[in-house]
Structure 1
């Protein structure tokens, strides 16, 4: 009987222990659940631990607090900052405010604030109790136009071509005038450098040196010093010319005076002299048009191009383009003339020497003069230009009966001109000794047949 009582007593004690443990567990779970709940609740309206934007720790901050922190560190300084571009002796400044520069602070704070908020309570608790580092970065936005405008403005002020050294003839002696290097802003590199620093989000002003390239002149003063000797001299008289023709010769000649031709460069008469217009001082004078002599603006300048051509031949410069007249000119031997016509016919020659060539051109007492200068070593060779007339073609005259003219009367419609075939040679001498003869050109002045009206009307 006593054994049965003991067994019942033991069962009751075991049950009490189990109940106690169960209650304890339930209580512990409840306490833990409450702790987890209240712990996560505290973070509902603030940013979770170890959440950073850039290098700012926003742990436990409200949205408003986070926004203020970031604005104080990034937003407001950005508005007050400047881009200072140092270029030569000037500094160009671009204000951030003018760029409409700003960080996406509110958007980034919203993202940081939302971190972990959509998780269940246990996951939230884990993020809070054992937080991982969570990093957000601000994005910097700005308007590029003020940068582009500033760079373009800088180019206009900085970019300049080099001033080439030059020479002038002063009382028979050459004076070399030094040039100056030019400058060119590397706008692409400058923009790239500016944007790299802007995107780096560094606080404070951006100070940057403008990348400016030095543009050296193509010609050196040493090269110009090599010009020291006259290698060709030509003159051509126009004393019988009218005022208009004389004026045209003087204007064209002045355009050529002082021309400097560096090794490898080509001279173009039309490019140097320019278009023959009244605005540039040219007058009406006889010119050859359609095999006839008629008045035309700039008439007479072919005597200038012809004189220059003869100087070029004498100097042994390489002629690359030259056309003779329709019929021979009175101011040059056959085969030695050179006609020009704006936009149509040109006189061109190339400097194939190792030295620069300087052309002096002037008029005096109705004579045009050309002097070509280069280096004295070129005088070791001299040149003599000769011509050979090897064929003559006589023109015909066509007569047209005209009943409006009286018998015995004649009216010339078109003057005849004899045709010629001519060869031009250059005799080459070295230190006064004949070396060889070379053919320069073969010209054919086409015979021009005449036309004359003769009267048939009876008296």
Structure 2
């Protein structure tokens, strides 16, 4: 019995000593790797086995970070090449994070598994993350746009000594910036083995909307209309001159629209406009720009006679003294406008001027449109006379005084037609408006206030 016990004790001692020895052996084999990266560990394609943490960071930084910061984005244009270094974009890899991950690989395993991983290593590849900031690229492209983008310049036309003079148009250029940025970003991959990024920037040539070739088709006067304002005082005459001059030289391309208010602008004292009589409803008052309805009316008549329809036109509430009924066009800043769209196949050039208190509008376009002429005819189909004068006592007026509050107005209804004339014959009789002018009885206020 005692002999068996001794044998068991001896065997246990052998096992313990053997286990201790094996543990000591494993510890010996793994200890030197405690401060080193385990075998067959790579960052990307770079083997950093057996390197300390500091050595690994230095090697990885040298190969990846230093290399990527030497790369450039080169953008070529016909005039110059724009370059942007990757350092300006804060291009970087997560070197510290990747190296730390590589260094810690396997070190949290049991002693035996660490030993096994060291003796029979498996390739471990850690991929780094590549990041960059696009702000510098965005700024570069923005600066490129400032240098490259040129707005096309329209051709212009004016009349001199009875002839048309045309200044040629100039082409413009536009950098296709969105496309360029998208292409550059698709090529920034962080691949250190690829060459610099080189891209040919696309620059679009932009033609002017008004070209010399198009304006050369303007060669004939289609219509003309004049209006006399010889009885107008200084203020009204000044306003008519200013408004007429602001329209002179206007070009309306096919499909484009014209706005009287948009072209003439707001009538203000700063622009030189004067207070002058203006129709407000059925009464006459005074306001800056009074009188320019005679300008819009003259333009309206010239445009109609060139076979262009109006898209917005308003008649006065009361008849105008300078134009037959149904042929007027009133305007008021912010409320009433006169508009038309050029429905012809050719550009329209408007010439307007004042001479001896006569304002004139000439409308020019292509000679192929001059085989027909147009005339306006109005038909007054109803006229209602005002009733008896109304007298109203007014305690605010002295006894014996009178004040005309409303002058009498005949109520008119009038249709206006446009006749199309070809070879001396009317080939079309078209209704273009049906207007009503307000009927108003005369109203007179009689003073009843007794003077003390």
Say which of 406, 412, 431 aligns to 1:420. Answer: 412
8 A contact 2:226–2:361 mirrored in 1:
yes
Residues 280-319 of structure 1 mapped to structure 2, 5 A cutoff:
280-319=271-310
8 A contact 1:227–1:356 mirrored in 2:
yes
1:405 to 1:44, Cα distance in 2 relative to 1, 3 A: closer
8 A contact 2:277–2:291 mirrored in 1:
yes
8 A contact 1:382–1:432 mirrored in 2:
no
8 A contact 1:284–1:298 mirrored in 2:
yes
Residues 51-70 of structure 1 mapped to structure 2, 5 A cutoff:
51-70=41-60
Secondary structure of residue in 2 paired with 1:180: coil
CA shift digits 1:251-282 (9 cap, x unpaired): 11121111111222221111111111112221
CA shift digits 1:396-446 (9 cap, x unpaired): 321124576556x64322211222222211111223333121112111111
In 1, distance between residues paired with 2:174 and 2:141? Answer: 12
Q: CA deviation at 1:31?
A: 10
Q: CA deviation at 1:210?
A: 4.0
Comparing 120-129 with 443-452, greater Cα deviation is found at 120-129
1:141 to 1:457, Cα distance in 2 relative to 1, 3 A: closer
Residues 95-110 of structure 1 mapped to structure 2, 5 A cutoff:
95-110=85-100
Say which of 331, 337, 341 aligns to 1:340. Answer: 331
1:34 to 1:424, Cα distance in 2 relative to 1, 3 A: same
Q: CA deviation at 1:288?
A: 1.0
Residues 38-437 of structure 1 mapped to structure 2, 5 A cutoff:
38-79=28-69, 81-86=71-76, 89-202=79-192, 206-396=197-387, 397-401=389-393, 410-437=402-429
Secondary structure of residue in 1 paired with 2:224: strand
Secondary structure of residue in 1 paired with 2:277: strand
Comparing 176-185 with 260-269, greater Cα deviation is found at 176-185
Which runs of no fewer than 5 residues in structure 2 stay unpaired? 1-13
8 A contact 1:166–1:176 mirrored in 2:
yes
CA shift digits 1:371-400 (9 cap, x unpaired): 111111111111121122222111232112
CA shift digits 1:166-208 (9 cap, x unpaired): 3333333334433233333444434333433444344775544
The answer to whether structure 1 residue 448 and structure 2 residue 440 are counterparts is yes
Q: CA deviation at 1:85?
A: 4.0
8 A contact 1:51–1:112 mirrored in 2:
yes
TM-score, with length taken from structure 1: 0.84
In 2, distance between residues paired with 1:51 and 1:183? Answer: 54
8 A contact 1:140–1:201 mirrored in 2:
no
Aligned residues: 435
Q: CA deviation at 1:156?
A: 4.4
8 A contact 2:281–2:318 mirrored in 1:
no
TM-score, with length taken from structure 2: 0.85
Q: CA deviation at 1:342?
A: 0.5
8 A contact 1:419–1:448 mirrored in 2:
yes
1:345 to 1:69, Cα distance in 2 relative to 1, 3 A: same
In 2, distance between residues paired with 1:132 and 1:223? Answer: 77
Say which of 431, 439, 442 aligns to 1:439. Answer: 431
1:398 to 1:166, Cα distance in 2 relative to 1, 3 A: same
In 2, distance between residues paired with 1:364 and 1:202? Answer: 78
8 A contact 2:72–2:86 mirrored in 1:
yes
Q: CA deviation at 1:86?
A: 4.3
Secondary structure of residue in 2 paired with 1:223: helix
In 2, distance between residues paired with 1:99 and 1:445? Answer: 72
Q: CA deviation at 1:324?
A: 1.1
Which runs of no fewer than 5 residues in structure 1 stay unpaired? 1-22
In 2, distance between residues paired with 1:154 and 1:377? Answer: 46
1:137 to 1:356, Cα distance in 2 relative to 1, 3 A: same
1:458 to 1:73, Cα distance in 2 relative to 1, 3 A: closer
Comparing 302-311 with 148-157, greater Cα deviation is found at 148-157
8 A contact 1:48–1:60 mirrored in 2:
yes
8 A contact 1:263–1:353 mirrored in 2:
yes
8 A contact 2:409–2:439 mirrored in 1:
yes
Q: CA deviation at 1:37?
A: 5.7
In 1, distance between residues paired with 2:306 and 2:372? Answer: 10
In 2, distance between residues paired with 1:363 and 1:51? Answer: 92
RMSD: 3.3
In 2, distance between residues paired with 1:302 and 1:420? Answer: 20
Secondary structure of residue in 2 paired with 1:443: strand
1:299 to 1:202, Cα distance in 2 relative to 1, 3 A: farther
1:126 to 1:183, Cα distance in 2 relative to 1, 3 A: farther
Secondary structure of residue in 2 paired with 1:315: coil
Match of 2:8 in 1: none
In 2, distance between residues paired with 1:346 and 1:236? Answer: 20
